[in-house]
Structure 1
Amino acid sequence: MQLRIFTEPQQGATYDDLLAVARRTEETGFDAFFRSDHYLAMGGNGLPGPTDAWVTLAALARETSRIRLGTLMTAATFRFPGPLAISVAQVDQMSGGRVELGIGAGWFEAEHRAYGIPFPDVRERFDRYEEQLAIVTGLWGTPVGETFDFAGRYYQLADSPALPKPVQPGGVPVIIGGHGKRRTPRLAARYAAEFNVPFASVEDNATRFAGVREACEETGREPASLVYSSALVLCVGRDEAELTRRAAAIGRDVEELRAHGAAGTPAEVVDVLGRYAEAGASRVYLQVLDLSDLDHLDLVASEVAPQLD
């Protein structure tokens, strides 16, 4: 099982904080560093304020050399699809082909109000999201020297040179996720390299994975061609005292974390991750909420990851 580190910088982090976590992620052998794409804290004051996801990843592309880099999830409401395709392709070039694009329809209404971003109803957001997926992947997939056109309800492109291209053949891998039962599996089957289930039970993961596999079969795609992944909050301690200290640092209850996250002693977390693997996950995003606690990453790298091979 691959382990990836997932951060929530809108809760309060500078670029230097994120750089320190990304470097430790690389040094300790994790597969990737991912971050959320949000502009407003969800509780707390969020000081010193938000950092932009793709500006951050562009910088990290030049300051790391091995780890994959990406978002869970960029909101389709935040950016026009053409400029988004350009930005992500450029960061992919800057990283030497290590970027992945997690993209969703957008859901956090308060951050849209706070920064003047239009927030249409859920149906329109999903309609726009579907058009964005078609445009971004279409731009990347257009052969050099040819042009790309798109005539949608919300977005229209004419004679686009569809440049620049990502370094990765076929374009940057797209990650789609969530708990939707109808449109989400269909979109994943059509556009995604990976399907992610965030912060849900083993049983829910198995159900959502099955829905995507069924959607793949309906469209003639091989279900095994997708990566299936889970996201879980991380809280590990060598003993109960260390676990309690880490839970308190992120304002969470130990038993609640044990019930719903990758939490407990290293042995307990290995067991939890094993259950998610049995449900079909080959990759897990470990949500690290205390970005100052780099020893937390060291502990997982030394006492959890080796037992998952």
Structure 2
Amino acid sequence: MDLRIFTEPQQGASYDTLLTVAKATEDLGFDAFFRSDHYLAMGSADGLPGPTDAWITLAGLARETRRIRLGTLMTAGTFRLPGVLAIQVAQVDQMSGGRVELGLGAGWFEEEHKAYGIPFPKEKFGRLEEQLAIVTGLWETEAGKTFDFDGTYYRLTDSPALPKPAQQKLPVLIGGHGAKRTPRLAAKYADEFNIPFASVEDSERQFGRVRAAAEEAGRKGDDLVYSNVLVACVGKDDAEVARRAAVIGREVAELKENGLAGSPAEVVDKIGRYAAVGSSRIYFQILDLDDLGHLELIASEVQSQLS
């Protein structure tokens, strides 16, 4: 089971905070550091000191880490033109020595678009499909040849399709709960399918849909990695769990039902249930980025039992 750290910096984090967490992620033996792609805090958080850009952050971390994978869950398709995104991600991959992964989604949080003057088109899924075709098409175009695309939303003419990522195949992640269009897109473009904040039962159902779509598209179901994102709140005892839950404004019972919460033994047991339905990678959503002791506990008492 691969264990990864996933952060939500829009809730309030500077680059320096993210760098500290990323270095701890690397030092503690986790597989990867991922972050969200948002420009506005959600819920009651004030978001101070203000948002950080996902790909600028990852570019910095690419130069300041050495081993961990780096990526997004999920880059918002509404934020960047696909040709520009392909250049940005390929460059950061080069800067990291080939450690980047691209999670790409349609974009959904309308309020952040209004706050920063970003267009929020009605038809986002069709745009996402074209974006995936363009980004992967640019990277896959043979050196010395050009790439063209004539779609409903985007047109590219005589693109040199440069730069290329350092990796021969940069992993693409697609995720979500959609029953039809999402599995079809994953089957066509994804190396990993991720389902966020889902129960074991819902994960099993959605993984099954993606496997079926992959086989219908001529791929093997096992060609994809299947993963989950779940909020983490782990403590060595009940008091520590309660303290960490209070800091992030959540109830312990709710966290135990919907996330990875409780003692290390409880969390290991629950991860085992996700593994039984096909998940081989867990992203721990860490909401208190100042609590490095939380990461240390997960590394020493959870990761050690799953490696």
TM-score by length of 2: 0.99
SS at match of 1:302: helix
Q: Deviations over 1:49-78 (max 9, x none)?
A: 000000000000000000000000001000
Q: Distance in 1 between matches of 2:185 and 2:166?
A: 24
**Structure 1 counterpart of 2:25:** 25
Shift of 1:308: 1.2
**Structure 1 counterpart of 2:145:** 146
**Structure 1 counterpart of 2:97:** 96
Amino acid at match of 1:15: Y
Q: Distance in 1 between matches of 2:30 and 2:18?
A: 15
**Structure 2 counterpart of 1:177:** 175
Q: Distance in 2 between matches of 1:72 and 1:299?
A: 24
Q: Distance in 1 between matches of 2:293 and 2:266?
A: 18
**Structure 2 counterpart of 1:119:** 120
The correspondence for 2:240, drawn from 227, 239, 242, is 242
SS at match of 2:153: coil
Are 1:39 and 2:35 matched, yes or no? no
Are 1:77 and 2:75 matched, yes or no? no
Amino acid at match of 1:32: A
Shift of 1:257: 0.3
**Structure 1 counterpart of 2:220:** 222
Are 1:48 and 2:49 matched, yes or no? yes
**Structure 2 counterpart of 1:86:** 87
Correspondences of 1:201-212 after superposition (within 5 Å): 201-212=199-210
Query: Which runs of 5 or more structure 2 residues have no equivalent in the other structure?
Result: none
Q: Distance in 1 between matches of 2:2 and 2:293?
A: 20
Q: Distance in 1 between matches of 2:3 and 2:73?
A: 14
Q: Deviations over 1:152-210 (max 9, x none)?
A: 0110000000000001013x210000000111000000000000000010000000000
Q: Deviations over 1:51-108 (max 9, x none)?
A: 0000000000000000000000001000000000000000000000000000100110
Amino acid at match of 2:111: A
Amino acid at match of 1:108: F
Q: Distance in 1 between matches of 2:179 and 2:78?
A: 21
**Structure 2 counterpart of 1:8:** 8
SS at match of 2:139: helix
Are 1:283 and 2:276 matched, yes or no? no
Q: Distance in 1 between matches of 2:270 and 2:285?
A: 15
**Structure 1 counterpart of 2:111:** 110
Shift of 1:120: 1.6
Amino acid at match of 1:296: H
Q: Distance in 1 between matches of 2:117 and 2:183?
A: 30
Amino acid at match of 1:96: G
Shift of 1:306: 1.3
SS at match of 2:102: strand
Shift of 1:223: 1.0
**Structure 1 counterpart of 2:270:** 272
Q: Distance in 1 between matches of 2:133 and 2:255?
A: 38
Query: Which runs of 5 or more structure 1 residues have no equivalent in the other structure?
Result: none
SS at match of 1:304: helix
Shift of 1:45: 1.1
SS at match of 2:240: helix
Amino acid at match of 1:53: A
The number of residue pairs the alignment matches comes to: 306
**Structure 2 counterpart of 1:158:** 157
SS at match of 2:193: strand
Q: Distance in 1 between matches of 2:193 and 2:306?
A: 21
Q: Distance in 2 between matches of 1:267 and 1:218?
A: 39
Q: Distance in 1 between matches of 2:114 and 2:183?
A: 29
Amino acid at match of 1:177: G
SS at match of 2:124: helix
Q: Distance in 1 between matches of 2:146 and 2:158?
A: 5
